[in-house]
Amino acid sequence: MHQVKELPGGSTQLFVGLHLIHEVTSPQAFSALSEKNLGVKFPNLTVATVDHIVPTSNQQRPFSDPLAEEMLTTLEKNCQSHGIKFHGIGSNSQGIVHVIAPELGLTQPGMTVACGDSHTSTHGAFGAIAFGIGTSQVRDVLASQSLAMKKLKVRRIWVDGSLSKGVYAKDLILHIIRLLGVKGGVGFAYEFAGPAIEKLSMEGRMTICNMAIEGGARCGYINPDKTTFEYLKGREYSPKGQEWDNAINWWKSLVSDSEAKYDDEIQLDGSSIEPTVTWGITPGQGISIKEKIPNPEMLPENEQQIAKDACKYMNLEPDQPIEGTLIDVCFIGSCTNGRLSDLQEASDIVKGHRVATGIRAFVVPGSQKVAKEAKNKGIDKIFLKAGFEWREPGCSMCLAMNPDKLEGRQISASSSNRNFKGRQGSANGRTLLMSPAMVAAAAINGKVTDVRKFLKE
């Protein structure tokens, strides 16, 4: 349906129905366009926001960092001269690209979605084909609304049962990446299905698909269903009236049938999963809160070297429990876990407690809309009262292109998606990935804590 043409060598020219851009990976694409004397073919199918470089403490223009200001101005100019809709600072709809497109109703089932950002896999949660692209491809999409793409195989990951109390979508996806490895998904799209997935909210589903890329899979995908339609109903760019009814009919027809053949299938039991935390330097190095940090010598041979590197870099001892690991910084936010339900779940834990002495804890809503809704529910107050900082929306310390950074050897409990060396802004800073509720528990105790202890009360 989206195929324009078969290209030589087995790739396909694929039409892109929704193209999302942000300030980091688009400027060079626009420059390349003007070098080639090309324009933007379908400006109404590209939507822009600013997220990576925005400061979260003071968003007054001009930004205090001149480089950040330059990137924003460049994007503003590019959008203006090509007629692209820009959800900028002060628009009430600015935020992380993978948070705003779904909440505006831009992302819909059956679409092809591309963005110069690897976590574009997030949008697959709506039954869209969505994937990250590089800057040359951003240029191609701007110029032609299409790109060359290789066909992906599909692995269906079937999750039975339901997640237990204190276990969230984040734990499930960290568990899956641990099982299949960080490159297990290369060449595949991951389709998530089964009772445990069906029970998840759209926000939980987005968390799962968001991190498909951390397992090497370029796309995540979940069949659209009632939950999807309910989420979309009434959103700004969702179809309305008769169009809505037609849309539902079409969306229903897209669901992969039960007879569908997959290139690979795996099955797991959602009920057996426990809160999961990473201890190393890849998202695949995760363990349950009850486990000990693995001894590299005891791991399969191909995992030993990276596990040794990880122990050394993280300064964590093998065979020690992960629970109780002392931390310095707590970060709740990002396109993985910066949505309203994430903040809600974390604030449920925080309520009536205080951030432990010496811990720096902060919350960065994923978008202006999330921030507003959270404020309406009094969620900001709960965090502030407990000693958290409440910030303005952006990517923030997920990758620290703004002033929010780890310092030196600091170790963070983070609801983001990548624990790579240096990811959070200090070349030797350390990151433990976990669910927002687990980050909240860690903030209160000053150390890695089983969030279920807070739920029993």
Partner 1 sequence: MKQDDFPQGSITVIKGRSIVIKGDDIDTDRIIPARFLKCVSFSALGEQVFADDRKELKGSHPFDLDQNKGANILVVNDNFGCGSSREHAPQALMRWGIRLIVGESFAEIFFGNCLSLGIPCITTSKQEITKFQNLVNKNPNQIWDFNLKELSISNQKESFIVKLDEGAYKMLYSGKWDATSQLLDEEETIKNTVNKLPYLNHFNKQI
The residue count for binding partner 1 (CB under 8 A) is 81
129-168 binders of partner 1 (CB under 8 A): 132-137, 139-140, 143-148, 150
CA dihedral 224, 274, 213, 422 (to 10 degrees): 140
| Residue of 29, 40, 96, 169 that binds ligand SF4 (CB under 6 A) | 96
Binding residues for ligand SF4, rule CB under 6 A, total 13
Residue 365 or 429 with smaller CB distance to partner 1: 429
11 binds, among partner 1, ligand SF4, none (CB under 5 to 8 A by kind): partner 1
User: Smaller CB distance to ligand SF4: residue 54 or 327?
Assistant: 54
Distances, alpha carbon 214 to alpha carbons 67, 121, 190, 336, in Å: 29, 10, 11, 11
Q: Does 303 bind ligand SF4 (CB under 6 A)?
A: no
For ligand SF4, the closer CB: 99 or 411: 99
- Smallest distance from the beta carbon of 269 to partner 1, in angstroms? 28
For ligand SF4, the closer CB: 147 or 397: 397
Nearest in space to 413 (alpha carbons), one of 379, 381, 382, 444: 444
Q: Least distance (Å) from partner 1 to the CB of residue 44?
A: 9
Q: Which does 51 bind (CB under 5 to 8 A by kind): ligand SF4, partner 1, none?
A: ligand SF4
| Options 418, 431, 436, 448; binder of partner 1; rule CB under 8 A | 418
Q: In terms of CB distance, is 20 or 273 closer to ligand SF4?
A: 20
**SS3 assignment, position 199:** coil
Q: Is 392 in the site for ligand SF4 (CB under 6 A)?
A: no
- Describe the chain by its helix, strand, coil percentages, rounded to 5: 40, 20, 45
Q: Are 121 and 212 in contact (CB under 8 A)?
A: yes
Residue 342 in the binding site for ligand SF4 (CB under 6 A): no
The CA distance from 174 to 434, in Å, is 8
Q: How far is the CB of 385 from partner 1 (least distance, A)?
A: 32
25 part of the interface to ligand SF4, by CB under 6 A: no
Three-state DSSP class for residue 268: strand
CA-wise closest residue to 355 among 333, 332, 314, 385: 385
Strands (E), 28-110: 46-49, 85-87
Give the span between the Cα atoms of 270 and 423, in whole angstroms: 30
| 8 Å CB contact between 279 and 316 | yes
Among 47, 206, 401, 440, binds partner 1 (CB under 8 A): 401
Q: Tell me which of 79, 247, 343, 448 binds partner 1, using CB under 8 A.
A: 247
Nearer to partner 1 among residue 135 and residue 201 (C-beta): 135
Map the footprint of ligand SF4 across residues 32-61, applying CB under 6 A: 51-52
Considering only residues 417 through 436, tell me which ones interact with ligand SF4, judged by CB under 6 A: 417
Residue 216 binds which of ligand SF4, partner 1, none (CB < 5-8 A, kind-dependent)? partner 1
Binding of ligand SF4 at residue 404 (CB under 6 A)?
no
CA distance 255 to 73: 42
> Tokens 């507003």 label which residue?
372
Of 269, 265, 266, give the one whose Cα is nearest residue 162. 269
Report the distance separating Cα 369 and Cα 201, nearest Å: 18
For position 71 contacting ligand SF4 by CB under 6 A, the verdict is no
Q: In whole angstroms, how far apart are CA 109 and each of 104, 123, 249, 403?
A: 14, 9, 11, 36
The residue assigned the tokens 């926000």 is 203
The Cα 4–Cα 242 span in angstroms is 29
Tell me, what amino acid is at 300? P
Q: Which C-beta is closer to partner 1: that of 234 or that of 321?
A: 234
User: Of these, 58, 249, 258, 357, which contacts partner 1 (CB under 8 A)?
Assistant: 249
- Phi and psi, residue 341, nearest 5°: -65, -30
Q: How far is the CB of 335 from ligand SF4 (least distance, A)?
A: 3
When CB distances are held under 5 to 8 angstroms depending on the partner's kind, the choice from ligand SF4, partner 1, none that residue 38 binds is partner 1
Alpha-carbon gap, residue 317 to 302, rounded angstroms? 20
Q: Which residue has the tokens 């998840």?
A: 200
Q: What are phi and psi of 160, to 5 degrees?
A: -80, 170
Q: What is the DSSP letter of 164?
A: P
Could you say which of partner 1, ligand SF4, none residue 110 binds, taking C-beta under 5 to 8 angstroms by partner kind?
Answer: partner 1
Minimum distance of partner 1 from residue 46's CB (angstroms): 13
Stretch that binds ligand SF4, among 146-154, 222-230, 318-326, 395-403 (CB under 6 A): 395-403
325 to 384, contacts with partner 1 by CB under 8 A? none
Strand partners of residue 148: 13
Nearer to partner 1 by Cβ, of 3 and 267: the residue is: 3
Residue recorded with tokens 């010598």: 297
| List of residues contacting ligand SF4 (CB under 6 A) | 51-52, 96, 98, 117, 119, 334-335, 395, 398-399, 416-417
